[in-house]
A and B are shown apart, each in its own frame.
Chain A
């Protein structure tokens, strides 16, 4: 056991240049000269699950909005979700994988002869609309509340966070029931009732958005709390930047990763919330239709007309799954500490020449990992 000579150390250093994969940690692909946006885009496009999710979602989106038409624009499908047509073959689906055929009613018909394909597409439209509306509203309110309370602290934080706490524990189901009740009073002619009766699903989306920003607000507050102590914020303040400028130009871009990822996750949860509320009878109401409502209406007929149950459920799962995969891809793309750890490789690495060296990662706290529970500690 002699001391390593100069020669050995040089060899070791050279070895380290070639073996950056020490202890199973693969180097992060960080090409020089790429902006953060480019790095994120590159990582996201390299995430196969997210790409598949994106393709599937785009396919469903295009199919749902072009087939039965949207907002008065007619689509290419011959039936609408309300039209009744004579039963073909007892309403069984006419689509088949082999030989590939589409047929008259690809997903079948319900008891009174409405086309299930049209109804499912309409339901998918509703779900996607609600999801987008919820994502936008929740994201906007969440950012504003989180930013104000995290940046200004003091009484602003106290009031906003207590408000958040109150909204978190009020059950969404109750609020939805109240809204359904208000929207149902068409005879009273209030502005809300008239709005809700013409845009039922939009009203539901806005409403759900108004209550689902709370988780986001807490996360954003956590982000702002940690970012406002950083040197670049001090530098900006000393150079005379206004509060608004610091919030929007300096802190928000650094928190945008957490924001986007969690808006995506909120959206995927929102789809399930909408279907669950429709299932319980306080969401989308008949004669309009939604995926949850279709399942709720047809669950009794499972043994006689199982397709009425399969197709709407399949579309809920597909939409939700693709959004989840997109969210997962985004999370991986935005996490600068992303390292590929491999236990097997770690065990196999036994060369004494390979120094234990973690490849330099971007030391840039843009995304303190967005754990749900790490934000309200000590408050």
Chain B
């Protein structure tokens, strides 16, 4: 095992050396760094050209410059020396600083999108595999192919037009006309009918209920101008919590396990009580506090499950912990909504909250909630675009993997033992279907920080992609090399992790030591 890892690391280092040499030469050969001065008619043209030549060290041939760069970069390998030198860009900023900023920007952009895409994609993949060749399956498959074929810049422009400009115009006067409310209700009812499954009566009933509820809620929103002053309030949180408790118990333990259901419901009760207790604390929230509260919430949930017990204590604990985490999420969401009117009327936002470009409103001031809402309104469009186009891959892959597992003999054995369908799907099939999915997830995380160049361009986020493109445009190898090295190292590291994870998860696959 250790031999294997060491061998992989050595190979990776050699590949990185070769590839970085290639990238450096290519960047240096990709254009004329002095082109912008040659065309200019400035009186100090020669001086400008000289200073740029000196800055980029153009007198030295590119292959030699590479080794100079490598000498600086090699210092990054010395731990704790702090003498990391990746050169400077043409504005004179050290690349290490620029990379730090860009990395933060890119990670805030892609992290949420990736997590959402993975969660939704896997869920859809499993459901479509369980209902193969149903209307739902055909619908999701078609959507997956459609999203897969969408150019992201096209999606992005559409989202900007309808998601941001359209929605902001709507917020100016958030009234939903009755026909629109009925229309949305009908569409969602139709979707619910497809998703519901079962016989015709059950489908029609689901569609009717969803249609009635959605239309009523939309009319209520319109009358109370809910989109101006959104919020749940304790009653909605309690009702939603009970629903969540049932859903979570159904998935983790099955409704037959009364003790698990009890502990989930107790967790909901505790959540509603906590809603009132915690409000003053939340007014002074910081990011760290939210994280600590989340951990505390999960611990409390686990404790509830432990004390309720039952014949399978683990199941109760899991059900209660997940339920209380979701309750905590609802409470935080509610608090964000409470801050919405303040954000909406903020002088910098001026009533047009959904932003089309950038990663934050410049010079905005406010507490944790206002700033959180600000990043949310800036992230929502690029995140939606990224989720849409990366969803398809996960859905198709999970579906294929799940279908293969459902044909296995041990699934038939499990059914033959008389296990409930929930146990068969959640315990025997789901876990094994995730093994191949885990590998592509690791691959994707490796390619994450370099993979959003176009999204960053369209939404003007100054992340890694921006740094890279900017470097290419100015024929400046240093930023290009900085981005390349970061991207390549993460990609290779996660490649290795993917292989190791596969052999750890699936005992049939062993790495050759």
Q: Could you tell me which A residues sit within 8 Å of B by CB distance?
A: 23, 25, 162, 165-166, 169-171, 173-175, 177-178, 181, 268, 272, 275-276, 279-280, 292, 295-296, 299, 302-303, 309, 313, 316-317, 320-321, 324-325, 328, 339-344, 346-347, 356, 369, 371-373, 376-378
Please report which residues of chain B, range 447-463, place their CB below 8 angstroms from some CB of chain A when the two chains form the complex.
Answer: 450, 453-454, 457
* A317 with B22, Cβ < 8 A, contacts A276-B153, A280-B457, A341-B407 known: no
Q: Are A339 and B154 in contact (CB under 8 A)?
A: no
Q: Are A339 and B498 in contact (CB under 8 A)?
A: no
Q: Are B502 and A181 in contact (CB under 8 A)?
A: no
CA separation between A166 and B23, bound complex, in Å?
10
**B30 near A: Cβ within 8 Å?**
yes
* A275 with B151, Cβ < 8 A, contacts A162-B15, A169-B19, A373-B440 known: yes
Closest CB in chain B relative to A21 CB, distance in Å:
13
Q: Are A356 and B412 in contact (CB under 8 A)?
A: yes
Known: A174-B468, A178-B26, A324-B145. 16 other contacts (CB 8 A): A162-B14, A169-B15, A173-B468, A174-B26, A177-B30, A178-B29, A279-B151, A279-B153, A279-B454, A280-B453, A292-B151, A313-B154, A328-B145, A342-B132, A356-B416, A373-B436
**B31 near A: Cβ within 8 Å?**
yes
* A181 with B146, Cβ < 8 A, contacts A166-B15, A295-B154, A302-B157 known: no
Q: Which of B52-60, B206-214, B304-312, B484-492 contacts A (4 or more CB under 8 A)?
A: B484-492
Give the residue name and chain of the A residue nearest to B142 (CB): A49
**B182 near A: Cβ within 8 Å?**
no
Which residues does chain B contribute within 8 Å of A376, judged by CB atoms?
499
* A173 with B19, Cβ < 8 A, contacts A268-B149, A343-B132 known: no
CA separation between A313 and B151, bound complex, in Å?
8
Q: How many residues of B contact A (CB 8 A)?
A: 61
Q: Are A165 and B15 in contact (CB under 8 A)?
A: yes
Which residues does chain B contribute within 8 Å of A275, judged by CB atoms?
151, 153
Instruction: Among A169, A175, A296, A299, point to the contact of B491 (Cβ < 8 A).
Output: A169
Binding site of B, secondary structure by majority: helix, strand, loop or mixed?
helix
Q: Are A321 and B146 in contact (CB under 8 A)?
A: yes
The 6 A-B residue pairs with the shortest CB-CB distance, nearest first, are A320-B149, A178-B30, A313-B154, A321-B149, A378-B512, A181-B31
CA separation between A299 and B155, bound complex, in Å?
11
Q: Are B407 and A25 in contact (CB under 8 A)?
A: yes
Which residues does chain B contribute within 8 Å of A25, judged by CB atoms?
407
Q: Are A316 and B154 in contact (CB under 8 A)?
A: yes
* A171 with B149, Cβ < 8 A, contacts A373-B443, A377-B502 known: no
Give the residue name and chain of the B residue nearest to A53 (CB): B145
Q: Are B151 and A276 in contact (CB under 8 A)?
A: yes
Contact with A along B414-451 (1 / 0, CB 8 A): 01100001000000000000001001100100000010
CA separation between A346 and B421, bound complex, in Å?
11
Q: Are B450 and A171 in contact (CB under 8 A)?
A: yes
Closest CB in chain B relative to A332 CB, distance in Å:
11
Q: Are B11 and A173 in contact (CB under 8 A)?
A: no
Q: Are A23 and B412 in contact (CB under 8 A)?
A: yes
Which residues does chain A contribute within 8 Å of B146, judged by CB atoms?
317, 321
